[in-house]
């Protein structure tokens, strides 16, 4: 039987060989953390290589994702469908082994960890999901949801502010099944970190409420094993295991140096490393006994089979709970969702309330949370402004995780990263809210949700200068364009209660990516629609007001400015102008419609077009063309009541009508 050192050296060899062949990558972290990974994966990690999606598996996240070859080596060695050819193809086009772990590429990769700090935030979200599902579904004698979340992280993750946001909340929520391993090697790309990172990290995590196991020798398997056992024994606190390691361990001339951090070791140094590690095998060569020492297929199958038998017994004892848990883990909508959701949409149209769209959103949450118990709400300390609480909201606490609402505190970035972890874990449909302006704090986590195709819902209120007196620091200008330009993100800005209901319904039905729902602070008029028009809201853009015959001019509005466009159309119609009003609550969804539908809404022959939105004007050029005009913003806002600001900046029906008349005259 190979020694633990030999098993760990297989990771080191594969990592340095793959980086060398790619002539690109980070060998230092995999070589330095190999001993920790060997202990964790061989002695503790509960997983099944034959079924990477087994529901009750432990989750493993490498937050310092530049060390991706550690993950790929582990997956290959333990028996996942990741052949050696994929490791040889590291960082190459269409390989399953990209430069950073990418969700959906290699089996067993739980999340995409490129930007530092987001992996640990995802891990916090996964641990929250595990704790909440256990509280909602476990019964006496049936701990059907019972697994750990393990996360590797480095100095860079700890320097990023998002780690503070997420780890602070993890301590407050008492996530006892979250175990993080800090790769304390003292090196980052620029060199020894004492020049820029001198935090007392153990004290910091103790202050969060974590259990901290300090000064663990990251190259001593017995010390590592003892630390993990201590971590698992504490069920009321997350644990940080501080592992002292040598970056690039085994490299005679580059270990302990930033030289091994982000570039290949070089052929001569690899030869020297093989000699130092007593690894007499060629590049990408792993002997049979090493493979046998790592193979987890049989043990993983046994673990899953035992759980399947337990779940079968659980299903007999608690059939309704078992069916509901299965549905939620599969990401399926309730059987009656379509019928009830459509009824609510129609009811919202009939009710025709003149309310702020943030209030219409709250009405939608109330309705849909009654249909989908997996909805998990939350807000970054703005619930009273975002209107995200509903009548049956129940906060999640360290002592009672059976609720359906997370109070994230002022942690927009952390909230969004945690939501991504919850979404990846499965069992919940999370939404999280803040002001649209503070989407900027969370921008990269929203991008990561889009990149991974996670169907999370990001709720943004106070969506324009119309939010008023708080002034330009709180008034979004360029943020809507930012969201709309993000690939795979469905951005909705509805104009009234009916469009809001459709936006929520669409977001909840979506399975292949996130949605951003953008709502107003100020009240908005309800619009009159036919049944056909109501059905077309789901297409992202549709004809709201039509003229007799062919239109001379088309007015395009979204959100709070749809009412402005309608009023402008009435002015123009009174002067004998044939006007069509198009409401476009979601440009991204509209752009996905077939060409015939888009042409029917925005015919190319009608070049006199005016778009109106209290946001940056440049985005709308693709819809109005060179001959059109946009009424909107090209500067920051001011501090004054919202209505005053809209008049001051010329976002009015008069201004829209004047622009349209000018186009016709020219």
Q: Provide the 8-state DSSP code for 176.
A: T
Q: Which residues contact 51 (CB under 8 A, 6 or more apart)?
A: 300, 304
Distance CA 183, CA 187 (A): 10
Q: Are 185 and 67 in contact (CB under 8 A)?
A: no
Residues 336-339: contacts with CB within 8 Å, 24+ apart?
336/371, 337/371, 337/372, 337/508, 337/509
Cβ 3 vs Cβ 40: under 8 Å? no
Q: Which of 592, 609, 506 is nearest to 552 (CA)?
A: 609
* Cα–Cα distance for residue pair 299/292, rounded to 1 Å: 12
Closest Cα partner for 566 from 604, 615, 610, 627? 610
Q: Which of 412, 499, 561, 613 is catalytic?
A: 412
- Give start and end residues of each alpha helix (H) in 352-467: 357-371, 383-386, 412-425, 439-452
Whole-number Å distance between alpha carbons of 124 and 167:
7
Rounded to whole angstroms, the Cα distance separating 297 from 497 reads 53
| Of 430, 479, 468, 404, residue with least CA distance to 641 | 468
- Kindly list the distances between the CA atom of residue 557 and the CA atoms of 262, 499, 532, 612, in Å, as whole numbers in the listed order: 49, 13, 19, 5
For residue 412, indicate whether it is catalytic.
Answer: yes
Quick check: helix, strand or coil at residue 184? strand
Two structure tokens written together for 368: 């849909």
Active-site residues, by number, are 412
């Amino acid at each position: 039987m190979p020694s633990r050192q030999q098993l760990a050296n297989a990771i080191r060899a594969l990592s340095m060989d793959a980086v060398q062949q790619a002539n690109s990558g980070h060998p230092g972290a995999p070589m330095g953390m190999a001993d920790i990974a060997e202990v964790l994966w061989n002695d503790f990690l509960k997983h099944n290589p034959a079924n990477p999606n087994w529901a009750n598996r432990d989750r493993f996240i490498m937050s310092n994702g530049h060390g991706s070859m550690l993950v790929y080596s582990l997956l290959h060695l333990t028996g996942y469908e990741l052949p050696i050819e994929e490791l040889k193809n590291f960082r190459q086009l269409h390989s399953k082994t990209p430069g950073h772990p990418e969700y959906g590429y290699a089996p067993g990769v739980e999340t995409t960890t490129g930007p530092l700090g987001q992996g640990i935030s995802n891990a916090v979200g996964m641990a929250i999901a595990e704790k909440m599902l256990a509280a909602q579904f476990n019964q006496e004698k049936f701990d059907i949801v019972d697994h750990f979340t393990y996360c590797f992280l480095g100095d860079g993750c700890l320097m990023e502010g998002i780690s503070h946001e997420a780890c602070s909340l993890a301590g407050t929520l008492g996530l006892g099944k979250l175990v993080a391993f800090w790769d304390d090697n003292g090196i980052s790309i620029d060199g020894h970190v004492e020049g820029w990172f001198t935090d007392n990290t153990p004290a910091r995590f103790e202050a969060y409420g974590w259990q901290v196991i300090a000064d663990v020798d990251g190259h001593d398997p017995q010390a590592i094993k003892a630390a993990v056992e201590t971590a698992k024994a504490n069920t009321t606190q997350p644990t940080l295991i501080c592992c002292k390691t040598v970056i690039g361990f085994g490299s005679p001339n580059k270990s302990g140096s930033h030289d091994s951090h982000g570039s290949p070791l070089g052929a001569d140094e690899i030869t020297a490393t093989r000699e130092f590690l007593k690894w007499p095998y060629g590049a990408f060569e792993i002997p049979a006994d090493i493979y046998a020492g790592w193979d987890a297929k049989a043990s993983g199958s046994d673990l899953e089979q035992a759980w399947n038998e337990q779940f079968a017994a659980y299903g007999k004892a608690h059939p309704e709970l078992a069916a509901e848990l299965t549905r939620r883990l599969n990401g399926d909508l309730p059987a009656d969702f379509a019928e009830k959701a459509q009824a609510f949409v129609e009811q919202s149209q009939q009710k025709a309330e003149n309310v702020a769209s943030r209030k219409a959103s709250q009405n939608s949450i109330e309705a849909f949370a009654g249909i989908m118990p997996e909805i998990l709400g939350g807000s970054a300390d703005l619930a009273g402004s975002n209107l995200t609480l509903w009548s049956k909201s129940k906060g999640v606490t360290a002592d009672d995780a059976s609720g359906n609402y997370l109070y994230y505190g002022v942690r927009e970035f952390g909230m969004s990263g945690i939501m991504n972890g919850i979404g990846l874990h499965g069992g919940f449909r999370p939404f999280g809210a803040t002001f649209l302006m503070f989407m900027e704090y969370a921008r990269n986590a929203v991008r990561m949700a889009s990149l991974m195709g996670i169907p999370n819902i990001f709720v943004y209120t106070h969506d324009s200068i119309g939010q008023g007196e708080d002034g330009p620091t709180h008034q979004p200008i360029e943020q809507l364009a930012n969201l709309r330009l993000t690939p795979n993100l469905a951005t909705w800005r509805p104009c009234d209660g009916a469009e809001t209901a459709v936006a929520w319904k669409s977001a909840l039905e979506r399975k292949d990516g996130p949605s951003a729902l953008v709502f107003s602070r100020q009240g908005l008029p309800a619009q009159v629609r036919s049944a056909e028009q109501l059905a077309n809201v789901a297409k992202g853009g549709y004809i709201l007001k039509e003229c007799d015959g062919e239109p001379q001019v088309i007015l395009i509005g979204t959100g709070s400015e749809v009412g402005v466009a309608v009023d402008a159309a009435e002015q123009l119609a009174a002067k004998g102008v044939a006007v069509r009003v198009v409401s476009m609550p979601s440009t991204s969804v509209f752009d996905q419609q077939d060409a015939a539908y888009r042409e029917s809404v925005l015919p190319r022959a009608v070049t006199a077009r005016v778009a109106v939105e209290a946001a940056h004007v440049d985005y709308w050029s693709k819809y109005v063309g060179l001959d059109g005009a946009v009424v909107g913003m090209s500067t920051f806002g001011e501090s004054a009541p919202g209505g005053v600001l809209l008049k001051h900046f010329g976002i009015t029906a008069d201004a829209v009508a004047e622009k349209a008349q000018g186009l016709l005259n020219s």
